[in-house]
């Protein structure tokens, strides 16, 4: 009768992290079982509680072996007269294995058995117990010429994370995760090997010597000591070695010896578990000190670099592989393309915001020459205008459309959206989709700039004007659009830095208004969400931002009194009064935030228009 017997054996003295020993164990156990031949063992006779030896031979039908660092699990398919006889085989095998020189001292931890009905397939009685854990970490299979630049990349990305943990880009690496994972072979070896050369190269490239960065883990005093050692070596290289990698290795080795951080040294007399924990603690301490030094010396370069590859290439180190230059060129090119696409998105959304705001509050300015460019820009792509118009129509509602005094050319547009807008107000299913489809028919997303498309855009904007009626509803919708400019224009997901998209686009809308008219600019400034925010940090931040804008304006026009005097003539209050005090120190300190913001933006608008520099407000406000 076939039975399955499973025995668990433990090794009282596991071999630590020796991968070769672990890989050899399954074959070793199988060889020992084969060498032992048929095994008979004592079983408990239920009649007299006496040990006896099974008289019938026992057949081993199948064997499975799974080993791990702390022991092994052995499965036997046994042909025996009954379960006690099968268990006797397991007990005998455990005693046999623990008595061999190779496995001497191993202990039996558990034994279990069960009847087998039939083989799983011919000659296969037991399920597979193969360990799905790899014998070696995947990274170990990479050649060193890939491991080394990968380690340099990880260090650079983690150093950037130390400097700016909140500004995580797609390539940033969590420094704490890197240090914690460094104990996994081969990364401890590779990270430390790469660290020394990077410290030497980063110190050579250091422009301003910043104090040690306060962020990051580990011992601050240890990190400061390493920073001092690296800078001292740069100022007075005592090794006489020119190669960054070798020089860094010598520097780190001397530092590790002086601070008891020789993490690769093994004490043969120490307890293996305690020695391993001490080794890992030393490695973590050394890496944290190195990362904080790297973050300090690379503070300016890491912040400006498009990616870690670019920063590594800019170090111009003989310890950085040539393949890094390829990756750096690729990242720089991709970043430039992404920035161009983001700029196009932001520019189009800015023009759409300006046109909708004018349609809501200042329709008389839609015919002004100064907005012709904005109007024409939307002739090629009207997607932002579609989204902003969708919000304006749904916010104003069908009642506003019913009472609107429509110009003749806007009647077809009203007819197109009326039924869908009423369905939205009635909260009918798919009404929002139907309304957006109607707006798309009015404003085709893309096409050639021509007179027909201009007429379509004009009719839609005039429809918005008629529905708004210039009252409080129009002002409310304008404030809503400024509160979430990127979200309502549906461009957040397409920007590389979506987290700051709202603020960035809001400043662009403010600058666009300032390039058009001081009064309009002042109204946009008065609608800034920070002036209505419940967050106590927002209003002081806006006041500080307005102070920065004013400082830039003073630097540009403080020595041009005649131009300033002309700007005063075309500037409303409180901007005119601020312009008269352009040479006064800190004129914003005694002004409430709302007054200061409006005054500064009005003044900048008047200066730009007077100087005939339409891009000046963007340079000052957006930067």
d(CA 611, CA 603): 12
d(CA 538, CA 483): 13
d(CA 545, CA 35): 83
Domain ranges of the chain: 2-115, 145-321, 330-499, 517-622
Domain 2-115, CATH number (from 3.30.70.3400, 3.40.50.300, 3.30.365.10, 3.40.50.970): 3.30.70.3400
Please give the average per-residue pLDDT across 586-594, as a whole number. Answer: 92
* Highest mean predicted confidence (pLDDT) among 96-110, 122-136, 199-213, 271-285: 199-213
> Confidence class of residue 43 from pLDDT cuts 50, 70 and 90?
very low
Distances (CA, A) of 389 to 47, 394, 435: 93, 9, 11
Burial of 134 (0-12, 13-18, 19+ CB in 10 A): exposed
Task: Say what the pLDDT of residue 372 is.
Answer: 55
> Confidence class of residue 14 from pLDDT cuts 50, 70 and 90?
low
Residue that has been written with the tokens 């040294």 in this structure: 265
d(CA 157, CA 177): 12
173 or 371: whose pLDDT is higher?
Answer: 173
Task: Say what the pLDDT of residue 95 is.
Answer: 86
Token pair listed for 103: 């496995």
d(CA 477, CA 464): 11
Q: Is 521 helix (H, G, I), strand (E, B) or coil?
A: helix
Q: What is the pLDDT of residues 420-475, one digit of tens each?
A: 999 999 999 899 999 999 999 888 666 555 667 777 888 899 999 999 998 899 99
d(CA 344, CA 339): 9
What's the chain's Rg over C-alpha atoms? 38
Do 97 and 67 form a contact (C-beta atoms < 8 A)?
A: no
Q: What is the pLDDT of residues 187-229, one digit of tens each?
A: 888 999 999 999 999 999 998 999 999 889 999 999 999 999 9
DSSP string of 393-462?
HHHH-HHHHHH----GGGHHHHHHHHHHHHHHHTT-TTHHHHHHHHHHHHS-SB----HHHHHHHHHHHH
33 or 202: whose pLDDT is higher?
Answer: 202
Give the CB-side neighbour count of residue 622, counting CA atoms within 13 A: 24
Do 623 and 508 form a contact (C-beta atoms < 8 A)?
A: no
Q: Is 619 helix (H, G, I), strand (E, B) or coil?
A: helix
CA 195, chain centre distance (Å): 23
Token pair listed for 25: 């164990």
Q: Is 527 helix (H, G, I), strand (E, B) or coil?
A: coil
SS3 content of the chain, % helix, strand, coil (to 5): 60, 10, 30
Average pLDDT over the chain, rounded to an integer = 85
d(CA 312, CA 332): 12
* Highest mean predicted confidence (pLDDT) among 143-147, 166-170, 171-175, 510-514: 510-514
Q: What is the pLDDT of residues 306-364, one digit of tens each?
A: 899 999 999 999 988 888 999 999 999 998 898 888 888 898 899 999 999 999 999 98
Please give the average per-residue pLDDT across 65-89, as a whole number. Answer: 85
Q: Is the dihedral of CA 87, 93, 96, 102 positive or negative?
A: negative
Q: Is 581 helix (H, G, I), strand (E, B) or coil?
A: coil
Locate the DSSP E strands across 40-176.
Answer: 42-44, 51-53, 59-68, 71-79, 107-115
Do 76 and 36 form a contact (C-beta atoms < 8 A)?
A: no
pTM tops 0.85: no
What is the strand order of the sheet 71-79 is part of?
59-68, 71-79, 2-10, 107-115
- Greatest Cα pair distance, the chain, in angstroms, is 121
> Confidence class of residue 31 from pLDDT cuts 50, 70 and 90?
confident
Whether the per-residue pLDDT at 295 is higher than 90: the answer is yes
Q: Which long-range contacts (CB under 8 A, 24 or more apart) does 527-536 make?
A: 527/478, 527/479, 527/482, 528/482, 528/597, 529/482, 529/483, 530/593, 531/593, 531/594, 531/597
Q: Is 569 helix (H, G, I), strand (E, B) or coil?
A: helix
> Bridge partners of 60?
78
d(CA 496, CA 335): 9
For residue 49, is the peptide bond before it cis, meaning its omega torsion is within 30 degrees of 0? no
Do 318 and 245 form a contact (C-beta atoms < 8 A)?
A: yes
Q: Is the dihedral of CA 570, 575, 576, 582 positive or negative?
A: negative
Q: Is 89 helix (H, G, I), strand (E, B) or coil?
A: helix
Burial of 347 (0-12, 13-18, 19+ CB in 10 A): middle
DSSP 379: T
Q: Is 214 helix (H, G, I), strand (E, B) or coil?
A: coil
Give the CB-side neighbour count of residue 8, counting CA atoms within 13 A: 6
d(CA 547, CA 444): 42
d(CA 378, CA 447): 10
């Amino acid at each position: 009768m076939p039975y399955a017997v499973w025995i668990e054996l433990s090794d009282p003295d596991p071999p630590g992290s020796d991968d070769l020993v672990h890989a050899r164990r399954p074959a070793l156990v199988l060889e020992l079982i084969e060498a032992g031949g048929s095994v008979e063992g004592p079983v408990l006779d239920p009649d007299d509680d006496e040990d006896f030896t099974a008289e019938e031979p026992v057949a081993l039908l199948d064997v499975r072996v799974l080993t791990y660092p702390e022991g092994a699990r052995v499965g036997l398919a046994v042909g025996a007269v009954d379960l006690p006889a099968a268990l006797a085989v397991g007990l005998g095998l455990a005693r046999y294995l623990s008595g061999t020189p190779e496995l001497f001292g191993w202990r039996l931890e558990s034994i279990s058995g069960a009847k087998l009905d039939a083989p799983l397939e011919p000659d296969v009685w037991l399920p597979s117990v193969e360990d799905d854990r790899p014998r070696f970490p995947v990274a170990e299979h990479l050649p060193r010429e890939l491991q080394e630049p990968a380690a340099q990349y990880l260090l650079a990305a983690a150093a950037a994370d130390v400097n700016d943990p909140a500004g995580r880009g797609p390539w940033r690496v969590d420094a704490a995760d890197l240090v914690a994972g460094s104990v996994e072979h081969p990364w401890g070896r590779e990270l430390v090997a790469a660290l020394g050369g990077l410290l030497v190269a980063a110190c050579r490239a250091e422009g301003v010597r910043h104090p040690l960065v306060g962020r990051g883990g580990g011992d601050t005093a240890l990190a400061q000591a390493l920073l001092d050692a690296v800078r001292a070596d740069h100022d007075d290289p005592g090794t006489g070695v020119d190669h960054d990698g070798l020089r860094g290795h010598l520097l780190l080795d001397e530092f590790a010896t002086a601070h008891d951080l020789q993490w690769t040294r093994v004490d043969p007399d120490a307890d293996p578990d305690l020695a391993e924990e001490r080794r890992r603690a030393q490695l973590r301490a050394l890496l944290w000190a190195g990362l904080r030094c790297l973050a300090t010396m690379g503070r300016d370069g890491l912040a400006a670099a498009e990616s870690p590859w670019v920063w590594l290439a800019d170090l111009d180190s003989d310890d950085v592989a040539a393949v890094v230059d390829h990756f750096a060129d690729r990242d720089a090119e991709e970043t430039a393309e992404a920035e161009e696409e983001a700029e196009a998105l932001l520019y189009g959304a800015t023009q759409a915001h300006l046109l909708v705001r004018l349609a809501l509050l200042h329709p008389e300015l839609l015919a002004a020459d100064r907005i012709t460019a904005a109007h024409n820009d939307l002739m090629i792509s009207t997607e932002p205008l579609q989204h902003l118009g969708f919000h304006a129509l749904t916010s104003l509602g069908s009642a506003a459309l019913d009472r609107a005094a429509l110009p003749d050319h806007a009647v077809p547009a009203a007819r197109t959206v009326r039924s869908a807008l009423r369905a939205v107000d009635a909260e009918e299913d798919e009404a929002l989709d139907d309304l957006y489809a109607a707006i798309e028919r009015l404003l085709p997303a893309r096409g050639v700039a021509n007179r027909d498309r201009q007429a379509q855009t004009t009719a839609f904007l005039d429809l918005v004007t008629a529905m708004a009626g210039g009252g409080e509803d129009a002002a409310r919708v304008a404030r809503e659009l400024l509160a979430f400019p990127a979200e309502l224009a549906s461009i957040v997901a397409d920007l590389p830095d979506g987290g700051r998209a709202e603020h960035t686009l809001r400043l662009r809308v403010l600058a666009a208004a300032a390039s058009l008219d001081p009064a309009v600019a002042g109204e946009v400034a008065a609608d800034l969400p920070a002036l209505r925010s419940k967050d106590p940090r927002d209003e002081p931040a806006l006041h500080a931002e307005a102070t920065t804008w004013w400082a830039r304006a003073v630097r540009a026009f403080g020595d041009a009194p005649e131009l300033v005097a002309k700007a005063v003539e075309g500037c409303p209050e409180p901007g005119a009064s601020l312009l008269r005090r352009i040479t006064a120190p800190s004129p914003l300190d005694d002004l409430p935030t709302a007054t200061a913001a409006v005054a500064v933006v009005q003044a900048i608008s008047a200066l730009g228009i007077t100087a005939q520099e339409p891009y000046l407000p963007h340079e000052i406000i957006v930067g």
